[in-house]
Amino acid sequence: MKFGTYYFLQRPPGAREADVIRNEVDLMVWSESLGYDSVWLTEHHFADYGISSAPSVLASAVFSRTERLHVGLAVYVLPFHDPIRFAEETATLDILSGGRLTVGLGRGNRPAEFVGYRVPPEESRARFEEAVEVVLKAWTRDRVEHAGRYWQIPGIPVHPHPLTRPHPPLAVAVNSPETIAWTARQGYRMLSSGLATPLPRNLENRARYEAELRAAGHDAATIARLLGQWTVTKHVYVAPTDAEAQADARGPEEWFLDAFRRSLHTDGLPALDPEFTARTERMRADIGALRWESLLRDALLIGSPATVRARVAELQAAGVGELVCWTSFGGLPLDKVRRSMQLFAREVMPAFRAAPAAAG
């Protein structure tokens, strides 16, 4: 099982943006010395829920200060990007990193972000799928020709090509049956959020993904590899005792939920597609109904090292290949985040590492 750390760069009241960015980049770099395998970044705009608006810049900073650490995106919101520019940028990152990049992609779901980037949300799926087609051409062909609904490209050379051949690995954030099916058909890695999602629901998505992989005709080795890379994100906070961990984490978790709900607002925005607005309002209602006690029982990894080890063992048994630990959430004090990361690295991760082969 692999372990990563995850960063939204949340800015709770009283925090300075510059401090948030610098402190979290330092945590990313420090995680390499603790033995974590990866850092995962995201893309969000226009809300204190996450000020990670330039994830490629953050990734470049991490690559320049580390030697082993892999960086994944969970995710770039692809409909907000010109696909040619995106292909150039990510190919450059792949080269600078020596091939340590996973390009995670998603369609987006925040109304203010669609308005701010002037993209109709009802076009997100079609734009997403067409942009992927353009990016793959730019990464792998000498010249890019494309005549699509959103982009018309008249045969231009795009440089540079990525170091990783044929291209950096792709991963997709999945929330719907349609996206799971598309991801499986393409043979891309599946990213699942477990922040508020109980394991049984994530397992339903994993089963659907496996069925779609088989229906798409992928060979057994490919299916096994992709299922082994199943990646799940969780809020993780470790303290010496369960009581201390819960006391420390409850307030930040509740701020996170409020910030999440507020980031989905439609107040003051121009008229949006009615179906998208209704779906967003259902999400806001679902988030508003979440309660600390049920999250602690069903979704969060918060407690003593022994408690968290037991919860991670459940995820490993369920087939999770990489656990991405969101350790700095909701304004948790920096010293407590560092202690939690250390406790997890020293007292949780070793139980899930392969034992070295005995000399013979």
Q: Is there a domain that residue 360 lies in? A: no
Q: Is there a domain that residue 346 lies in? A: yes
* Cα Rg of the chain, angstroms: 20
Q: Is there a domain that residue 211 lies in? A: yes
Range of the domain at 254: 2-350
Q: What dihedral do alpha carbons 65, 71, 75, 81 form, nearest 10°?
A: 60
Distance, CA of 107 to CA of 352 (rounded, Å): 33
Q: Is there a domain that residue 358 lies in? A: no
Q: Is there a domain that residue 357 lies in? A: no
Q: How many domains does the chain have?
A: 1
CA atoms 155, 187, 66, 73: torsion sign = positive
CATH classification of the domain holding 166: 3.20.20.30
Q: Is there a domain that residue 246 lies in? A: yes
pLDDT in single tens digits along all 360 residues of the chain: 999 999 999 999 999 999 999 999 999 999 999 999 999 999 999 999 999 999 999 999 999 999 999 999 999 999 999 999 999 999 999 999 999 999 999 999 999 999 999 999 999 999 999 999 999 999 999 999 999 999 999 999 999 999 999 999 999 999 899 999 999 999 999 999 999 999 999 999 999 999 999 999 999 999 999 999 999 999 999 999 999 999 999 999 999 999 999 999 999 999 999 999 999 999 999 999 999 999 999 999 999 999 999 999 999 999 999 999 999 999 999 999 999 999 999 999 999 997 544 444
Token pair, residue 282, equals: 């259902």
Token pair, residue 358, equals: 């005995």
Q: Are 325 and 5 in contact (CB under 8 A)?
A: yes
CA 48 from centre of chain:
18
Q: Is there a domain that residue 356 lies in? A: no
Q: Is there a domain that residue 355 lies in? A: no
Distance, CA of 204 to CA of 8 (rounded, Å): 26
What's the DSSP call for residue 73?
E
- CB-based contacts of 208: which residues, under 8 Å, 6+ apart? 177, 180, 181
The pTM score is 0.96
